[in-house]
Amino acid sequence: MKNRFSPRLLVTAVAVSIGLATSAFAMPPRGNDASGPATGMHERHMAHGMKDFSRLHDDLKLDAKQETLWQEAAKAGKDGSMRERIRKHHEEMQSLLNQPGADLRAVAKRMDDFRAEGQKLRNANRDRWLTVYDSLNAGQKEKARLFLKNKFDRFGRDGQRGQSRGGRG
C-alpha cells in the first residue's frame, strides 16, 4: 500500500500547525470587545488580581516619591500596545504562511524574535516594579513579601486542585 503523504509534507504540516497554535495562544482569550459575550474567566481572574493589587497599594501607604514610581510602573503595565503588537504579529505570520512555498525557518525565526522582544518588555516592566520595591521601607517591603507569598500559596493550592480535575483549572 502506497503512503499518500510524504515525510516532507507531514513535517511541513506539523511545523505550520505549531506556528499557528503558538500565534493563536499569544492572542488574547476574547474578541475585540472587552465587554462582549466572549469575556470570560481570564478577565475575571485579572480583575480579581487588580483588586488585590489595589488593596496592597492602599495598605503600603506610599509617600509621594513612591506613589510616582508606582503610577509609572502601573501605567507601563497597562499599555495597550501589547495587544496591538500581538495582533500585527499574528497577521504577519498568517500572511507569510499563506504564501506558497513559505520558508518555515524564516517564519520560526520571526516568531522567536517576537517572543524575545516580548521577554525584553516583560523584563523592563519587572524592573520598573523592582524599582518601586527598592523605594519601599522595611515595613512596606514586608507587606509586599507577604502579599506575594499569599498569591503564591493560593496559586499552588489552585494548581493542585486543577490537576485533580484532569489538569484543567
Q: How many domains does the chain have?
A: 2
Q: What is the pLDDT of residue 15?
A: 60
Find where cell 501607604 sits: 61
Burial label for 89, CB within 10 Å (0-12, 13-18, 19+), is buried
Across residues 120-138, what is the average pLDDT? 92
Are residues 156 and 143 both part of a single domain? Answer: yes
Residue 47 sits at the vertex; the CA angle it makes with 41 and 52, to the nearest 5 degrees, is: 125
What average pLDDT does the chain have?
76
Are residues 80 and 123 both part of a single domain? Answer: yes
Are residues 129 and 143 both part of a single domain? Answer: no
Answer whether residue 37 is part of any domain. Answer: no
Indicate the Cα dihedral angle 30, 33, 37, 41, nearest 10°.
40
Alpha-carbon gap, residue 131 to 65, rounded angstroms: 11
Alpha-carbon gap, residue 24 to 8, rounded angstroms: 24
Are residues 77 and 126 both part of a single domain? Answer: yes
Alpha-carbon gap, residue 6 to 12, rounded angstroms: 10
Q: Is the pLDDT of residue 169 over 50?
A: no
Answer whether residue 34 is part of any domain. Answer: no
pLDDT tens, residue by residue, 71-95 = 998 888 777 777 888 889 999 999 9
Q: Is the pLDDT of residue 21 over 80?
A: no
Are residues 143 and 90 both part of a single domain? Answer: no
149: containing domain: 138-169
Q: What is the pLDDT of residue 82?
A: 77
Are residues 99 and 149 both part of a single domain? Answer: no
Please report how many Cα atoms fall inside a 13 Å half-sphere around the Cα of residue 147, on the Cβ side: 19
DSSP 155: H
Are residues 74 and 118 both part of a single domain? Answer: yes
Across residues 114-138, what is the average pLDDT? 92
Are residues 106 and 167 both part of a single domain? Answer: no
Across residues 15-43, what is the average pLDDT? 51
Are residues 129 and 61 both part of a single domain? Answer: yes
The three cell numbers of residue 108 are: 520560526
The three cell numbers of residue 5 are: 503523504
Are residues 122 and 71 both part of a single domain? Answer: yes
The three cell numbers of residue 122 are: 516583560
| Model pTM above 0.85 | no
Are residues 101 and 142 both part of a single domain? Answer: no
Distance of CA 97 to the CA centre of its chain: 24
Answer whether residue 2 is part of any domain. Answer: no
Percentage of the chain exceeding pLDDT 70: 62
Are residues 64 and 110 both part of a single domain? Answer: yes
Q: Is the pLDDT of residue 168 over 80?
A: no
